[in-house]
Amino acid sequence: SFPPEVVPQAPEDPLFGLMRAYKADPSPNKVDLGIGAYRDDNAKPWVLPVVKKADEILRNDPEANHEYLPIAGLAALLGRAADLLLGPSSPAIAEKRVTSVQTISGTGAVHLGALFLARFYQIQGVNRTVYLSNPTWANHHQIFTNVGLPIATYPYFSKETRGLDFEGMKASLSAAPDGSIILLHACAHNPTGVDPTPEQWRDIAALMKAKKHFPFFDTAYQGFASGDLDRDAFALRLFAEEGFELVIAQSFAKNFGLYGERAGCFHYVASPSPTSAETTTRVASQLAILQRSEISNPPIYGARIASIVLNDPALFAEWQDNLRTMSGRIQDMRAKLRAGLEALGTPGRWNHITDQIGMFSFTGLSEAQVLKLRSDYHIYMTKNGRISMAGLNSKNVDYVASAVDKVVR
Ligand code: PMP
């Protein structure tokens, strides 16, 4: 059997532990600002109306069955998923420089990309270290470590401004050995809510090109961040236009509200060259082998829902409307929380609450303040002071503002 020195007890995942503590709290005032899942103004999960319609279509489809998907996943989804990222008139797509594989949501996409790079990013003399932003989605560390790739971090968040540490980031990417793998959040950076501006993205692209770095994009919030699918794809499209060879992990968990259905895709984009289509075909063949050995073929339900919406112009328009509903409510909560704190004269500056974007805000609250909010006010957030904006609503935002006011004084 496995003694503890061989299999030590692992700590519980902090986020899922927080969720358990919240559930067990009997207080009627409790507020869950932990996990990153959208909630409506009644703190309830929201099944997107367009997803309900797609589900209805699926249930009435006499051809629908429970057969296996192909190894690469649902063909009707893959092309539209790539269009969504790169734009329907993308030269990379037209030149057959893109190959896509359906994955177990965004996590599975990051994993498949990590596995592919661990196996094949072995070019003589080129660095294999993956640079992650500090901080980043905690799972990035585990995923890349699990496949045996060395990881390092680059500065990202400035504690002073609660915005981007752009100089620190650039200095670190410049100092990294040429050809390093750089993980970038395409939009709505988790956990900080801080994104580079378009100008800053241009500088990052220029620097990475000069250093021959390899971009690994993680996009889990397209459309959910600004409410505009194209705007949230700015960085991806910029890097693709700049001719980078790159990979993208795409999640449909947040923007379709399909969390537990595990719908997502991994995409490889080759640089433009006379051999790029042939390279892409070879990459696709290896991705298929990796996929086969890991999951054989991906799950079908969420992929069908997303595919129905993405392939129907009327449903697509309705989806965009649903995205504006979610992002609009979150932006509204950002404004209300900031206004609440400013009205109370809470010490400190609170502009970062509205400057940040997406599901999360890095509040700047200390661990001691976070723990006090939990014990005294039944408000749950991760220890780093990150709050999930979707946990706020018109009924609890004033309560949260006044509790924060009390703990920071
Ligand atoms: N990347 C980032 C940055 C995320 O925030 C998330 C969701 N928390 C994911 C990937 C993947 O999530 P999922 O596997 O549910 O699609």
pLDDT tens digits for range 151-162: 999 999 999 999
| pLDDT on residue 15 | 86
pLDDT tens digits for range 200-240: 999 999 999 999 999 999 999 999 999 999 999 999 999 99
pLDDT tens digits for range 10-24: 988 888 889 999 999
* ipTM entry: 0.99
Which of 144, 251, 261, when mutated, tests ligand 1's pocket best, judged by the most ligand atoms within 8 Å of its CB? 251
Angle between helix 397-408 and 313-343 (nearest 10): 40
What is the atom index within ligand 1 of the atom nearest the CA of 218? 1
Instruction: Categorize the per-residue pLDDT at 36 as very low, low, confident or very high, splitting at 50, 70 and 90.
Output: confident
185 lines ligand 1 (CB under 6 A): yes
> Residue 123 above 90 pLDDT?
no
Q: Which residues are catalytic?
A: 137, 218, 254
| pLDDT on residue 126 | 80
Q: Give first-to-last CA distance, the chain, whole Å.
A: 53
| pLDDT on residue 13 | 83
Instruction: Categorize the per-residue pLDDT at 289 as very low, low, confident or very high, splitting at 50, 70 and 90.
Output: very high
106 lines ligand 1 (CB under 6 A): yes
Q: What distance in angstroms lies between residue 251's CA and the mean position of ligand 1's atoms?
A: 7
Provide DSSP, 176-223: SPTT-EEEEESSS-TTT-----HHHHHHHHHHHHHTT-EEEEEES-TT
137 lines ligand 1 (CB under 6 A): yes
| pLDDT on residue 369 | 97
Residues 6+ apart with CB under 8 A from 4: none
What is the atom index within ligand 1 of the atom nearest the CA of 185? 3
